[in-house]
Amino acid sequence: MPTPRPNTPTIRKTVTTLADGRELIYYDDEATAVSTDYRAATDTRALPPAVSDSQLRYDVLTGEWIAVAAERMDRTFLPPPEASPLAPSRAGTAPTEIPAADYDVVVFENRFPALSPRAAAQRLAPFVDSEPLWPLRAGAGRCEVVCFTSDPTARFATLGHRRARMVIDVWADRTADLSAMPGVEQVFCFENRGREIGVTLTHPHGQIFAYPYLPPRTEALLRQARAHRASTGGHLLADVLAAEQHSGRRVVYRGEHWSAFVPAAARWPLEVHLVPHRDVPDFTAVSEGEKDELATVYLDLLARVDRFFEGVHETPYIAAWHQAPVGDDRELGRLHLQLFSVMRSPGRLKYLAGSESGMGAWINDTTPERIADRMREIA
């Protein structure tokens, strides 16, 4: 594992809007920033004002909120590289979601959001079909796209330490802003990579969801953490880290501030968790030293994931950054990465069939110990 090095970018933030009123934010590293007047780079597309009909419908059988966003049916699907909506708008090309001719990191409101503050403008009845069994809410919240670089051929693993460190700062800034929005209960930063995952835009990018409710995984984690505290007095996520470190069998990295391990009950054929040693609720609380080490170890883990399967150069993965909820039970949550792949061997995917999809009863096709052995072997 390479040694972390101080390489902290100074970031310039420019906030503007797109033709339909959606917010667009440029983040530039002042040491390497392109000389662009972003406010002069206007969106020339003839777009109607952004609206959202997103709804949240309550599933009384499971206690879960389901987002219903029918406008997402028309979202962009696998455009050719020259028509990528995430590329800069350069001379001789059609205008894109990013009006500037170049950029470092860009964040903008998703054009086809599952959740949007504009959904609150709807006049909705409190129940579907006036039936109290089916509560109905506006699909408020926010969905953002994060473009890590203007280079369409890059991967997060190839960004380099300074750019990765910058993206971490952007995650922290967006987490702070979105957490302050009325009604937001949790902020979730993630990256989907690979067609096998369902990615429809190949440009290197991630997303951020600001949920107006707690998603099922968070609800389950908080339920377990609450019970653990009641029975032991401890913090569940801290105690899991301590147990994995004590065992050492599945630990693949242990640094000054962060440890990475394959969880004892890993459900995916490739799964690694990366957690801070300190009790950190979200990216806003991560220190400068912790960010520097995180950039190093995260790049290393992503590179290992791409080497995990023989003959596969870009392993499909989901990088899910779980953060503590904004309000109640915040002290029970803790920032951690769940990095996993749906690939179980070269050319073969882990399909979520009857047991997983129908019953939520997981079956892993390998052992966590074998995953950890492989992750150490390719370090």
Q: Where are the beta strands (DSSP E) in the chain?
A: 11-17, 23-29, 55-59, 64-68, 105-109, 136-138, 142-147, 186-193, 205-211, 251-254, 258-261, 270-276, 317-322, 336-341, 343-345, 348-349
Query: Distance between CA 240 and CA 265 in Å, rounded?
Result: 11
What would the two tokens of residue 335 be? Answer: 């920032």
Helix (H, G, I), strand (E, B) or coil at 80: coil
Residues identified as active-site: 205
Residue 123's Cβ-count burial label (10 Å; 0-12, 13-18, 19+) is exposed
Q: At 168, which helix (H) or strand (E)?
A: helix 161-179
Q: How far apart are CA 275 and CA 268, in angstroms?
A: 18
Q: How far is CA 2 from CA 98, 131, 270, in A?
A: 35, 59, 22
Token pair for 8: 């902290």
Distance CA 211, CA 228 (A): 25
Centre a 10 Å sphere on the Cβ of residue 82 and count the other Cβ atoms it contains: 9
Question: Which uninterrupted H or E stretch holds 247?
Answer: helix 236-247
Strand pairing category for 64-68 and 55-59: antiparallel
CA 38/CA 14 separation, integer angstroms: 7
d(CA 106, CA 84): 15
Q: Residues for the chain: how many in total? A: 379
Look at residues 162, 184, 164, 163 and name the one whose alpha carbon lies nearest to residue 175: 184
